[in-house]
Amino acid sequence: MILYLHGFRSSPLSMKSRLLAAQMQALGREAEWLCPQLPASPKLAIELALSLVKDVAPAELTIIGSSLGGYYATWLAEQLGCRAVLLNPAIVPLIDLEQHVGVTTEFHSDKPFEFKREYIAELGTFAVEKITEPQRYFLIAATGDEVLDYRDMLAHYQGAQQCVIDGSDHGISEFVAYLTPVLAFCGIPVDAAR
């Protein structure tokens, strides 16, 4: 089972999510794919994620998190003992998201998105100082990320499997090239579909 957690103001309509969903469908494994629309509240986002995977054995679960979703995925992986794939993950969102308090819209729609000041404190409760089992993590970090510093990611996920993309951007525009290694880490061979 894969649980995909999108980033701040994003949605299941993000490019990476759609590519992974299409690949899972091509493999006939769409029933093993979950990608919810996360609420703005970190507490509610975590509660939703936990409710979706409560009956999934940790050995059968991989959480893929992009940006803020990577921050959530790390906390969830530490709590559940499952694998996690981090795509340009946020490391210290309490600092990064302070400037985004207020009402705006989701990236893929005109739907209002409100990030309240109290959500900053909620974020703090999900901080992971140090990952405990690096072998359960796969980090993909782009040196060209215009939002987050890839060096913070490399330091935070020290000892984990790491793929550093030279250049690129926060959204990992060429993510299609990384579908196979991401799914392989999730325990899903892709070659069978080709």
* pLDDT tens-place string over residues 32-46: 999 999 999 999 999
Q: What is the pLDDT at residue 103?
A: 76
- Is residue 113 very low, low, confident or very high in pLDDT (cuts 50, 70, 90)? confident
- Calculate mean pLDDT across residues 107-126: 83
Q: What is the mean pLDDT of residues 46-55?
A: 98
> What integer pLDDT is reported at residue 84 of this predicted model?
98
pLDDT at residue 110 greater than cutoff 80: no
- At residue 72 the predicted structure's pLDDT band, cuts being 50, 70 and 90, is very high
Tens digits of per-residue pLDDT, 160-176? 999 999 999 999 999 99
Mean pLDDT to the nearest integer, 2-11: 93
The better pLDDT of the pair 180, 116 is held by 180
Quote the percentage of the chain above a pLDDT of 70.
95
Q: What is the rounded distance in angstroms from the CA atom of residue 164 to the CA atom of residue 141?
A: 5
Higher pLDDT, 139 or 112: 139
pLDDT mean over 58-80: 98
pLDDT band, very low/low/confident/very high, at 101 (cuts 50, 70, 90): confident
